[in-house]
Chains A and B, each alone.
Chain A
Amino acid sequence: MKLVEDNLRKHTFTHLDALESESIHIMREVAAECKNPALLFSGGKDSIVMLRLAEKAFRPAKFPFPLVHIDTEHNFPEVIECRDKLAADLGERLIVRSLEDSIKRGSIVIKDESKPRNPFQSVTLLETIAEFGFDACLGGARRDEEKARAKERIFSFRDEFGQWDPKNQRPELWDTYNTRVHAGENIRVFPISNWTEMDIWEYIGREKLHIPNIYFAHEREVIRRGGNVIPVSHLVQPKPGEKVEIATVRFRTVGDMTCTAPVESTARTVDEIIEETATTRITERGATRMDDQTSDASMELRKKEGYF
């Protein structure tokens, strides 16, 4: 077996180039084979990487799909600002559908305003898919995030109820993707399945992507509750006995404000975040997503209900 000598190692085509080319290939397959695709875009870092990949896949033309955001209205304002600015700068069509619409329609019933809304996102997503007749939704999920995702295909087939059946997935061989669906069914496509959190940060650095400033270290009012650092907001107020303190933190993920915890950090640049990511000892979701800590199978259950 021939081994690469370290001193001969050449890095002109890096792992990021390989991942990027794979993602572009996947997006073009969706554009070519699906009748009415959409790209799910939240303004978070993974979906910002997805936008750059779509530019690389389709420019100088416009994207062959609209951007769609399912807004929980529990988002950080900085993220929504970034979402709107990026869509406008790119000149692409952004469709926003809010959980509030589903609540008004009665398809979602909220009992407690301060509770996370992630479980309900699938309802509005499925309603939006039906409204526009999307047959494919591109999403920025990664397999390294969570063990349910680790077992999901790049082209993940959903039945007419939007459900994922982990036991009944289509075999996926080589880079030859089966994109076929019957009317009413759809496919979720994850072009960055094979990227890790580190790859995302390295790519953000390399491509100089603009991301919401809450990903960088800043001072913020937080409370400590059950081992988590929780950001104070109009949705989360201290309970009697809880103390508000100012901490220097950054967000590793930006989701629902009531269940996304920041990590204590002084990383103020992408390079500093890369350094921190290389040495961190806790997984991305483990550190930041309280809703994934409730049970060993939280994500798996949400996916089965039609979540991304």
Chain B
Amino acid sequence: MSNTTQLLRFITAGSVDDGKSTLIGRLLHDSKSIFEDQFSAISKTSEKRGMAAVDLSLLTDGLQAEREQGITIDVAYRYFATPKRKFIIGDTPGHEQYTRNMVTAASTANLVVILIDARKGVLTQTRRHSFLASLVGVPHVVLAVNKMDMVDYSQARFDEIVAEYKVFAAQLGLHDVHCIPLSALNGDMVVDRGDKLDWYKGPALLELLEKVEIDHDVNTSDFRFPVQWVCRPQTDEHHDYRGFMGRIEAGEVSVGDEVTVLPSGWITRVKEIDTYNGKLQTAFAPQSVTLTLEDEIDISRGDMIVKTDHLPPKVEKEFDATLCWLSESPLDKNRKYLVKHTTRTAKALFSRLDYRVDVNTLEQHAAEKLHMNDIARVAIKTQQPLVFDSYEIDRATGSFIVIDEATNNTVAAGMIA
């Protein structure tokens, strides 16, 4: 199987002071992703504000609502492409509500760029960003040591920061870390290498983004197919057709494979794999396909089809999870919520709050309530069984959202473990 995607989703973590907006601006500008009308708009603004050079950070400037009210809206998505790859940047503001925003943006990211000011080194917020990246299971981390121009492009300073960071990253279980010295302001080692950092032999940031291997970010071993929609055309031509539509969340499946339907436990075989473009012999994650099965079994949305000889997922009504509380109204242990997990939504109770994690110190504290931005270990009971894997094994079948039935708001994000 080869399914090398050319699409990389990444996020940037860091505050305005670390030069995050400048870095994104530099990446867009030097990769020639800025259009003339956009550039002329920020040139005019820079001039109006009395700046000598065009301020590239203005490219990520926000909406009128944000400018007028001095607030920042959580996540903006930006797009650029090079001949090698397409990129989606999840850009989050670095201020208040940071945990909520970063968790949201990181949930779909293959990679996170954590920014450090070379003068300041590893700070509390670096630890916080790294902890959140490990929590949400972002597979690849780039530590961008920015403002190297302010430390005379010193290799010793870079090495010192990298040594300190790597110890911390290892404790968090972040294994795939790459460190790059750069200057977003001057454009060194972002797209172009520049001539000040010749001692650094690794790839510049863009080159790394173009080449990082992301094939194995999806779990490729155990087939997981949450049923989204049952297709019953009931036309003369397709009278008895019953197709189970969904997206393969992990692994692959072939015609003839023995499969188990969960939670019922019925066993059958895959008859056909249908797509609009014709039938397939084998399909793999993350393809959206339609399966037809050998036997007539009662299957509906919310069920999961897995391969019988693969490691089975858990089918449980009680499980532990790490929760990130996203809502302004705190968690109320006496209330029932809804949990949406893959294609199944179930009523749920929080039976236990084990502890809350301080994202700055990683210390655990007893918790009675959870407020916005809190990260906590909890035990959950659901009215119907969920079919899940641990989040570490499979992001798609190990994650869920919590919905408040009264307001219909999404109030928390959960990771099963």
Contacts and interface: CB of A to CB of B under 8 A. Distances in A.
B145 to A, nearest CB: 16
A11 B408 contact: no
Interface stretch (A92-100, A117-125, A281-289): A281-289
Given A3-B208, A31-B229, A176-B399, A167 B104 contact: no
A293 to B, nearest CB: 9
B74 interface: yes
Contacts of A60: 231, 233, 235, 237-238, 241, 243
Interface in B14-33: none
Given A1-B212, A3-B203, A182-B408, A173 B35 contact: no
B409 A170 contact: yes
Contacts of A287: 37
A182 B403 CA distance: 13
Given A147-B76, A169-B74, A178-B340, 8 more contacts: A2-B212, A2-B213, A13-B5, A19-B7, A57-B288, A280-B35, A296-B41, A300-B63
> Across chains A and B, which 4 residue pairs bring their CB atoms closest together, nearest first?
A286-B37, A297-B64, A13-B3, A3-B211
28 contacts: A11-B4, A11-B6, A12-B4, A18-B7, A20-B288, A24-B247, A25-B247, A28-B228, A29-B343, A32-B343, A55-B276, A56-B275, A60-B241, A61-B231, A147-B62, A147-B76, A150-B76, A166-B63, A172-B104, A174-B396, A176-B341, A176-B399, A178-B401, A178-B408, A182-B408, A196-B81, A280-B35, A297-B63
A35 interface: no
B286 A18 contact: yes
A69 B229 CA distance: 26
Interface of A: 1-4, 6, 9-15, 17-22, 24-25, 28-29, 31-32, 55-62, 143-144, 147-148, 150-151, 166-167, 169-176, 178, 180-182, 193-194, 196, 198-199, 280-283, 286-287, 296-297, 300-301
Contact of A4 (B4, B108, B231): B4
Contacts of A10: 2, 4
Contact of B62 (A62, A151, A283): A151
Contacts, number: 195
Contacts of A170: 409-410
Interface string B39-72: 0010000000000000000000011111001010
Interface string B222-257: 000000110111010110010101110000000000
Contacts of A20: 288
B36 interface: yes
A178 B7 contact: no
A181 B276 CA distance: 31
A79 to B, nearest CB: 25
Contacts of A58: 231, 245
B114 to A, nearest CB: 14
Interface residues of B, number: 80
Given A25-B228, A194-B77, A296 B213 contact: no
A207 B245 CA distance: 21
Interface string B377-398: 0000000000000000001100
Contacts of B235: 60-61
A197 B403 CA distance: 34
From A9, A174, A194, name the one whose CB has the most chain B CB atoms within 10 angstroms. Answer: A174
A176 B73 CA distance: 21
B235 to A, nearest CB: 8
B400 to A, nearest CB: 7
B35 A286 contact: yes
A181 to B, nearest CB: 6
B287 interface: yes
B396 A151 contact: no
A90 to B, nearest CB: 12
Nearest to B80: A196
A261 B340 CA distance: 45
Interface in B159-180: 176-178
Given A2-B212, A28-B229, A32-B228, A173 B104 contact: yes
B6 to A, nearest CB: 4
A198 B231 contact: no
Contacts of B7: 15, 18-19
A29 to B, nearest CB: 7
A199 B6 CA distance: 12
A150 B395 contact: no
A147 B37 contact: no
B79 A282 contact: no
B307 interface: no
Nearest to A301: B64
Contacts of A143: 77, 79
